[in-house]
Amino acid sequence: MIWTTWRQQRTETLIAAGILALLAALLIPTGLRMASAYNRDGLSACVAHQTSGCHEAMAAFGNEFGTITSLVPWFNLIPGAIGILLAAPFILELENGTFRLAWTQSITRRRWLVGKLGVTVAAALLAALSMTVLMTWWRTPLDHLYGRMTTNVFDFEGIAGFGYVLFALGLSLAIGAVWRRTVPALIIGFAGYTVARLLVQGWLRERYQTPLTSTWPISKGFTGPKLDRVWVLSEQPSDKFGHPFSQRLDVLRLCSQGIRDGVGKIDASCLARHGAGYNHAVYQPASRFWLFQVMETALFGGAAVVLILFAAWWVHERVS
């Protein structure tokens, strides 16, 4: 049964493997270059002791690899694509009715479902593991410098990727089991995956726990809290109580008149006179990375388990 399932699914599995191979071909050369540049420029020393020279070196490092890092948000589509690809053979068999042949040859519905879905889920988990390991290795220098809490970084490390792939798989399986139309089920499954990811990424994730806040004076010799490795949700001029300064653009223009061609500093005393002598930041600390990973994996993975079990139940009880 397992061998038969593999033969029926090998085309889609090989396509998923091809997607991962293309991703590896893009990331491995740039990952080696990033690691070399990180060591060459001595950026490891900047993680603990940041100086003005460190800021310049980090900015140059970011500019050098800015093109490839700007592509990373599009990689969020890959778990969805892998999930629907691996769901396709199961739905196609339901659409064509070929499952009936297996059920008439001493293979029970339960055994057929366990074999088909077991191989599919195992392939999905293996694909998720491969992508997570690759992305984590590739981002190692960037993680040391900037952390891994921010959007489009958090999504590719830890264990969340397993939940994403399984969710796309489960959603497509559930829709396909009921509808028994492969192409529409995969399209709707991928659209549902995308909407769910955008909703969680853009709204829900930052609310997993109440964000921390910090207010500090804009004054010489006081740089405020260390926010370079946290997920900053907002940062803006404020009064000493953290209330946003409503006239900040006009005041910033007034207090930055001494700046010419990027040379000079904003007059902190001028900002203070106009009630904007403070900065206020809202952020999620780096220490919450694994807590948020577990919560997001439970969210998507739990939904995936429910959807896969629903698909299995529907086929077992309702399909004939």
Is pLDDT above 90 for 294? yes
φ/ψ region of 92 (left if φ > 0, alpha if ψ in -120 to 50, else beta) reads alpha
Mean pLDDT of 174-179: 97
Q: Which residues contact 12 (CB under 8 A, 6 or more apart)?
A: 85, 86, 88, 89
What are the tens digits of pLDDT across the range 71-82? Answer: 999 999 999 999
280 Cβ contact list (under 8 Å, min separation 6) = 213, 214, 215, 235, 236, 237, 238, 242, 243, 244
Mean predicted confidence (pLDDT) in 92-105: 83
pLDDT in tens, 40-86: 888 888 777 766 677 788 888 888 888 889 999 999 999 999 999 99
Task: Say if residue 225 is exposed, middle or buried (CB neighbours under 10 Å; 0-12, 13-18, 19+).
Answer: middle
Are 204 and 298 contacting, i.e. CB atoms less than 8 angstroms apart? no
Q: pLDDT (tens digit, 9 = 90+) per residue, 200-232?
A: 999 999 999 999 999 888 775 556 778 888 999
Distance CA 19, CA 10 (A): 14
Q: Residues 5-31: what's their mean pLDDT?
A: 87
- The two tokens of residue 99 are 């499952």
| Residue 169 pLDDT > 50 | yes
Is residue 151 within 8 A of residue 142, CB to CB? The reply is no
Is-contact 166 120, C-beta < 8 A?
no
CA 135 vs CA 14, 173, 240: distances in Å: 20, 27, 41
Q: What is the mean pLDDT of the chain?
A: 87
